[in-house]
Structure 1
Amino acid sequence: MTTALTWQKSSFSGGGTGDDCVELALPTTPPTSIHLRESDTPTTVLTTTPTALHALLTILKNGNGLPG
């Protein structure tokens, strides 16, 4: 059985009903995966693990490993 996801907009989206933000959804319990999508293309969903997303965000935040 598939459970519908509850999507939340990023706090950086500026609120409102715009279609230019990132949305995140977590399965009920336990959160073994995280789902991400762009508001303007809601049928395209990226699914990852909390560990992998944390690693990506850490790299982006620190600027490590990115081409110059």
Structure 2
Amino acid sequence: MEPFEINLVGQILTIQPRLNETYDVFDGNEKLGEVHPISVNGSTRWTSKELNDDYASQIGELIDEHQL
């Protein structure tokens, strides 16, 4: 799976998909953390151990948009 870039309010982040539906998030060469989707009552929510919930959610929404 090829990495791709997203633009989060002017911040260009590189997203590296992994095989287990987890995505590594990089700002330049610095790994910020990992995000992954979870299903909650029929909808998808994005979460991360390293990133706060709002930031992970915003990144996840942009990943969803990229995959459309």
| TM-score after normalising by structure 1 | 0.41
> Who wins on radius of gyration, i.e. which is larger?
1
| TM-score after normalising by structure 2 | 0.41
